[in-house]
Amino acid sequence: MKTRILSGIRPTGHIHLGNYLGAICSWVSMLDKIDERFFCIVDQHSLTTTEDSNDLRKNTLTIAAAYIASGIDPVENHIFVQSHVPYHTELSWYFSCITPMGWLSRMTQFKDKANKNKDQTLTGLFLYPTLMAADILIYKATHVPVGEDQKQHVELTRDIAHAFNSYVGKQVFALPEPIIKKETARIMSLRDGLKKMSKSDPSDYSRIHLLDDNDTIATKIRKAKTDPDPIPSEISGLESRPEAKNLLNLHAIFTNKTMENVLKDFEGKLFSEVKAKLTDATINHMEPIRSKMLDLLNDETSLIKYLKNGANAANNLASGHMAEVRQVLNLL
Ligand code: AQP
């Protein structure tokens, strides 16, 4: 069977190291193992949190530039914008007609983001997982690489695929597999090691943006929350030190070492030393990506052309699958 991946990022603010390591790097590592690769900028999902919509156009282009600068070739892969393929929203409507409200109410992300006043909570936020299921299933994706926080939504996508197949009495959709890389599944905030790094965190110091310059990266790492204890020799010594664990994990990722080896290097040392080394490693890795992103953003015409080509390929595949869906639903 042909393998196909679909994944995406919401253009809701500054794309950060969590998105890069948790999502984009895992995509890049799979490029030569998967037959067809679709990478979406899920702009319609951004509208579920309306405070982000002012910068939507700019953020959409920035995310496209991040994909390409990180190594996703826009000719070999299909990079496109969700709103350029209308089949996503059409399929999500059909899915909303077979998805019980109870399934959606149980989603952790909905519970976290829903307004304290239930009557004010947006319908779009509630229906987010049915649109995400449509994003994936309209391409009949076989694999969905995501960070840990999106695992529940991919599991719901499988439930929705199953429910749809049962409703129409035909195996229209195979169940897609989530792919979650353990080491990068959850990059934590630099200000609070118990919270994931997130675009919506009010503090810029909680995350490193892909477009941060070297001085800003150095300042953010210097100001990152830590503790006064020296580095332990064993991973178990980090159990109650989430901020320390996060910084050492980032160091392990950027230097391509195991956590055990990083602990050997730093055992007994203080965080000032870890932070200095982590700053160098982060800048080494991120500087070429930032520079490429800036070049791409300076040539908007080419960037938009890549996105148009990506949307053409996506529309071609999606239209065939949509014809099948309309047929099994007995639409005239
Ligand atoms: N901290 C993280 N560690 C690892 N992976 C992460 N991802 C997000 N944060 C981390 C992964 O990035 C992909 C795109 O995420 P998204 O933009 O669609 O939505 P999100 O998960 O809600 O990301 P943010 O940054 O936290 O955005 P806001 O603050 O707007 O909600 C997904 O694969 C996600 O797992």
Q: Whose CA is nearest to atom 7 of ligand 1?
A: 19
- Beta carbons within 10 angstroms of residue 276's beta carbon: 13
Best of 5, 9, 15, 26 for a ligand 1 pocket test (most atoms within 8 Å of beta carbon): 9
User: Quick one: which atom of ligand 1 is closest to the CA of 200?
Assistant: 29
Q: How far is Cα of residue 264 from the mean position of the Cα atoms in its chain? A: 32
pLDDT in tens for each of the 332 residues of the chain?
899 999 999 999 899 999 999 999 999 999 999 999 999 999 999 998 766 567 899 999 999 999 999 999 999 999 999 999 999 999 999 999 999 999 999 999 999 888 777 788 899 999 999 999 999 999 999 999 988 889 999 999 999 999 999 999 999 999 999 998 887 778 999 999 999 999 989 999 999 999 999 999 999 999 999 998 999 999 999 999 999 999 999 999 999 999 999 999 999 999 999 999 999 999 999 999 999 999 999 999 999 999 999 999 999 999 999 999 999 999 99
Cα(201) to ligand 1 centroid in Å equals 11
Q: What is the full DSSP assignment across 93-146?
A: HHHHTTS-HHHHHT-HHHHHHS-SSGGGS-HHHHHHHHHHHHHHHTTT-SEEE-
**CB of 36 within 8 A of CB of 228?**
no
Cα(20) to ligand 1 centroid in Å equals 9
Reference 296, options 306, 287, 286; nearest CA is 306
